[in-house]
Amino acid sequence: MISHVNRFKVLILTLVLAIWTAPAFAEGATVDTGDTAWVLTSAALVLMMTPALAFFYGGLVRRKNFLSVLMQCFMVACIVTIQWVVIGYTLSFGPDIKGMIGGLGWLGLKGVGAEPNADYAATIPHSVFMIYQCMFAVITPALILGAFAERMKFSAFCAFMLLWSTLVYDPICHWVWGVGGFIRNMGALDFAGGTVVHINAGIAALVCAVVLGKRHGFPAKMSPPHNLPFAVLGAGLLWFGWFGFNGGSALGANGLAGNAFVVTHIAAAAAGLAWALLDWKFNAHPTVLGMITGVVAGLVAITPAAGFVAPMDAIWIGLGAAAICYFFVAVVKVKFGYDDALDVFGVHGVGGIWGAMATGLWAQKAINPAGNDGLFYGNPGMVLIQAKAVLVTVAYSFVLSFVLLKVVDILMGLRVTEDQERIGLDLTQHREAAYTTLD
Amino acid sequence: MKYIIAVIQPDRVDDVLDRLEEKQVHLVTVSTVMGRGRQKGISEIYRSHKEQGSLLRKVKLEVAVNEEFVQPAIEAIIKGGRTGNIGDGKIFVLDLADCVRIRTGERSQVAIG
């Protein structure tokens, strides 16, 4: 028997629930549950790419610096997430100011709730779009850390990441993806972040490698990767997460998402295969590290193109990514001698530029009516537009990253001492060790 | 009493242990070590960058024996460890001053077996 008091409680609870859920029913007309479910899932997939990157990078450093890489990846996730919800999102996607930056209308997520924002995604809650974009804002600066791995002071790292997110990522994100952004208005195509994420991070990485200088002992006395299986695990999880990165960028569970998913997978496979074959030819052995590097290069290159190109063209994009990135990693880096420790520029910067240009070659309206035709589909002008978008991104990222590094260097110093570098960042920056010798 | 230290190829360990067993030498300490002899290390390739390894993985065996087991133990290690290639390793024989069995406190020849 339910007592009177309990009956009263049940009644109140039912009323409260009814009031709470009422707006959800009211929205039913615009929010699509399938789209929302896919974008939420994709957001989780993209988030996973940051810890995946931690293992991809972490496996490649020496054992004394393994934790520092994991720590930096997780710390970026924490810092940038808070930055994003407070100010980053409104700077990137907020009401446009002269094509240059988002206004402060959505400061602190003001008005960013369950109601969709038709400018960006008409069928999912605005908050879902915001958190999906948050994951991109997180992984982009995290990509950079591979360039200065094993030598940057942790405090300087935190400061640089916060500044870079706010003053480099957010503006470029607005230019390319924000309504009113000037690169978007030029007609440039970037489906999931070739310019915003990969070129941007890759160029910043090159600047970091040069400004911070080489690690002691580079290149003659460097130890090999301390745990390649971890790098393989990380690359595998990156591949998996990339389906959310590119497939989710359709912002709906639809044919476009399907196309993005398919071409992403094809380009990754083509590039992994091609890199292994290049290794076989030029180094006499197909290497594991070469193959996973190829896979990542292919994923990078297909990112801007995923929503605009056909499956068979994705093979060419993947093959091109492997060939060009291989050349930069194996030849150009050696020739110029910069210590881009984990080849962020060689894979993400160069692969991103190739991908952006390839979008100008192989894009077609038949795949995405909202896109455009590329050179091979009768529109040579597309290549020029893509080149302009690439140049603007490269120039801005290069100059601002340089300035920000110099500012942080003056304020707190960028590098650890030589002693600390020899002992390793795990022990000197975090007072922890990744592995014990006994037990 | 002698203390025998042998540095051998990792892939010969099982054979060496079997041969020692045949000669009634049961007590062995084995560890994985890095080292180099005249043959240098194998070069590795990471993203097309060759790294000349200066050290190779080896296995170190340590055996303490009474005089009458010295020659049989050396023969067993050679029999199990020899491939005829460069890098088969070395055997060092040292005089052993004393030996104590921790559990019983027994000393010297009695403790060693």
A330–chain B nearest CA distance, Å:
5
Q: Write the single-letter amino acid at A40.
A: L
CA separation for the pair A230, A354 (Å, rounded): 28
Tokens of residue A349, six digits = 């910067």
Q: Which residue of A lies nearest to B44 if distances are taken between CA atoms?
A: A224
Q: What are phi and psi of A416, to 5 degrees?
A: -75, 165
Q: Which chain B residues are closer than 8 Å to A225 by Cβ?
A: 46
Q: Which chain B residues are closer than 8 Å to A326 by Cβ?
A: 48
pLDDT level of residue A1 (50, 70, 90 thresholds)? very low
Q: Residue A184: what pLDDT?
A: 97
Q: Residue A437: what pLDDT?
A: 79
| Angular region, B42: left φ>0, alpha ψ -120 to 50, beta rest | beta
Q: Residue A198: what pLDDT?
A: 98
Number of A:B CB contacts under 8 A?
Answer: 29
Whether A322 shows a pLDDT value over 50: the answer reads: yes
Q: Residue A6: what pLDDT?
A: 61
A146–chain B nearest CA distance, Å:
15
Whether B54 shows a pLDDT value over 80: the answer reads: no
| Domain B2-35+57-112 classification at class level | alpha beta
Q: What confidence tens digit (pLDDT) does each residue in A112-145 have?
A: 999 999 999 999 999 999 999 999 999 999 999 9
Whether A409 shows a pLDDT value over 90: the answer reads: yes
A389–chain B nearest CA distance, Å:
30
3-class secondary structure, B45 = strand
Q: Residue A13: what pLDDT?
A: 53
Q: Give, for A53, the enclosing helix (H) or strand (E).
A: helix A33-58
Closest by Cβ to B48, choosing from A224, A225, A282: A282
Q: Residue A234: what pLDDT?
A: 98
Q: Give the CA dihedral A364, A365, A370, A371, nearest 10 degrees.
A: 20
First CA to last CA across chain A, in angstroms?
59
- Per DSSP, which regions of A71-153 are E strands? 96-97, 101-102
CB contact under 8 Å between B47 and A330, yes or no, is: yes
Q: Which chain A residues are closer than 8 Å to B50 by Cβ?
A: 283
CB contact under 8 Å between A329 and B47, yes or no, is: yes
Whether B58 shows a pLDDT value over 70: the answer reads: yes
Q: Which chain A residues are closer than 8 Å to B43 by Cβ?
A: none
Whether B36 shows a pLDDT value over 50: the answer reads: yes
CB contact under 8 Å between A329 and B46, yes or no, is: no
Tokens of residue A347, six digits = 């894979």
pLDDT level of residue A200 (50, 70, 90 thresholds)? very high
CB contact under 8 Å between A219 and B48, yes or no, is: no
Q: Residue A19: what pLDDT?
A: 47
Q: Which of A90-99, A199-208, B102-111 has the lowest mean pLDDT?
A: B102-111
CB contact under 8 Å between A287 and B49, yes or no, is: no
Mean pLDDT of chain A: 94
For the entire predicted model, the pTM comes to 0.89
B47–chain A nearest CA distance, Å:
6
What fold is seen in the domain A29-430?
Ammonium transporter fold (1.10.3430)
* Of A282, A298, A290, residue with least CA distance to A246: A298
- The answer to whether A407 and A374 have CB atoms below 8 angstroms apart is no
CA separation for the pair A394, A390 (Å, rounded): 6
Q: Residue A22: what pLDDT?
A: 45
Q: Residue A26: what pLDDT?
A: 43
Q: Residue A310: what pLDDT?
A: 98
For an interface test with A, give the residue of B42, B44, B48 to mutate (most A CBs within 10 A).
Answer: B48
Q: Residue A223: what pLDDT?
A: 82
Q: What confidence tens digit (pLDDT) does each residue in A282-319 have?
A: 999 999 999 999 999 999 999 999 999 999 999 999 99
